[in-house]
Amino acid sequence: MPRESVKKSQEEIARLKAHDDETEQLISDDIPHFLETWKRSKKRGQSSKAKAPEPVQYVAVGDDVPNFLDSNGRFSEQLISDYESNLTENAYGDIIKSRSHNTSITYGYKQLEFLFFCKKVYAGRPAISRFQVRDTKLLAFLMREVVEREVRKAGETYNGTANTVDMESFAAAINAENKKLSYSTCNIYVCAIVDLWNYQRLMGTNPHPSPRVKIITEILKVVRKREAQNNRDNNVDRATSALTNGYSTIAQIKLISQTFINNPEQSFKYSFRNDLAFLLSHYLLLRGESVRNLEFSDLQYMELSKVGTEGTYPAIVCLFNQGKTNRYNKTETGACIRNKVVEICPFMAMAFHFFWRFHNNKESFPSFNTNKDWFKLKLINGARPRNHQVKKAKSKGKMLDRDCNPLEGEYDYESSSDEDIQEEGAFKIPAETAISKTAHTRFMKNAFANADLFAKNKVTHVPRRSGASMASLAGVPEDEIRRMGSSFA
């Protein structure tokens, strides 16, 4: 049932606009690298990638040598200073560009909270030192705005109420009056403010030493120690947060896989794709982003010798050179073989996924003549319209049918990528588009709900955690589990 529209008064609209203008000015002055991300998140709900500032074009003399002569032909120290400042800004832009999208969003908004705090509390200080990060300011910010703050009520995400955890104890813990921020959240605030200090040091606007001093570390220890007592006071069910999170038997894996395959909601359009994503996450102990980013060029086929008899086992081997814990192009591998239980066999899931993808969905079969023709094709692919004529959410009328064919010029909301928002007129090949985190989370939550299994937080990571637990129960050495799961934690 759609929510009732709430019409804002002119006074409220004016107040919100003034707040946005003030926010934009703060970001422009103190964290300019976050400005474009903030503007896009205002329009699209934090759905686009963070971009680094555009590189500055310099006037060069000869072989790319900058011109430091002023209008009178004299050597100018100011031009040198401006040139070095621009290089520093570009260097930091490259650092921000290489940072993950979620980290940029998280740090940016927490730094913005700190800037508003400084503007309110230190308004009497000179502008040059008002927003400088130092240990005393960070301590004041933590004690007044973070450590003792109650958990805010979560807003709508993904499917709204369809994705909320229907557990009485969990809801009670979130809505409890005495529920404070966790250690991990407080530590993220500290990391974000220290990152702002690094930026100020890089730009030469902050002469103070690192704000992460001994007292900050001790405050974080106090927060960590109080968590157990808070959970006890708020009657948080320990079992729902640990032991029962996910699955632990072959029968449960089979049940989850069957919920994917026997799902007629979209005429089985994405059933085998979703099942393959789940099984690969389970057997290879993959995080959500790792399975979404798999490409054809990452797939390898190997024959493994049988133990104690003649013959070989066919194996699917996946190569990974990027991920949450792999930012430096280190090659890692994961492999799986056939399973005698056909419902949970990765070979079966991949075969049916390819058959449905290229025969039923009529996707053009890739050409293997050159590497560029197929290297970037996604294994767990999303879909984009060929003409990119996407209807705006603010337009009137009925929402497009989720079963529409994206290859016929209509938009596929199920498979749209949350990191694929492009400028108007841009075009991207559907087969090279990964499914979005939103779509991945949606079908995983629905599968666990249909199988009557509990999954808390990061549902796309549940197969990784549950698979590691099952391997440990089966007697697999811990170092082997870590090797397969890329330092599982």
d(CA 437, CA 455) in angstroms, rounded, equals: 16
Neighbours of 309 (CB within 10 A): 6
User: Which carries the bigger pLDDT value, residue 404 or residue 343?
Assistant: 343
Residue range 287-308, pLDDT digits in tens: 888 899 999 999 999 998 888 7
pLDDT of residue 44: 56
**DSSP 8-state class, residue 56:** P
- The per-residue pLDDT for range 355-413, each reduced to its tens digit, is 988 888 888 888 889 998 898 899 988 865 333 344 444 444 443 343 343 333 333 33
What is the identity of the amino acid at 457?
A: N
Residue 109 reports pLDDT greater than 70: yes
Strand segments (E) across 286-363: 299-305, 312-320, 332-337
Cα separation, 189 vs 140, in Å, equals 13
The whole-number pLDDT of residue 18 equals 85
| Percent of the chain at pLDDT exceeding 70 | 74
Pull the structure tokens for residue 167. 């557990």
Structural domains for the chain: 23-50+99-233 (no CATH), 250-391+401-484 (1.10.443.20)
Q: What is the mean pLDDT of the chain?
A: 76
Residue 318 corresponds to which tokens in the numbers above? Answer: 């996946």
Distance CA 337, CA 328 (A): 28
Residue reference for tokens 């902050």: 206
Measure CA of the first residue to CA of the last residue in the chain; give whole Å. 40
Q: What is the pLDDT, as a whole number, of residue 408? A: 35
* pLDDT at position 132: 93
312-320 and 299-305 beta bridge pairing: antiparallel
Specify the DSSP class assigned to residue 323.
B
Average pLDDT over residues 198-224: 91
Whole-prediction pTM value?
0.67
Q: What tens digit of pLDDT does each residue of 125-142 get? A: 888 889 999 999 999 999
Q: What is the pLDDT of residue 64?
A: 59
pLDDT at 43: 67
pLDDT(436) > 50: yes
Residues 192 and 113: their CA atoms lie apart, in Å, by: 10
State the pLDDT at residue 242: 58
- How many H-runs (helices) and E-runs (strands) does the chain carry? 16, 5
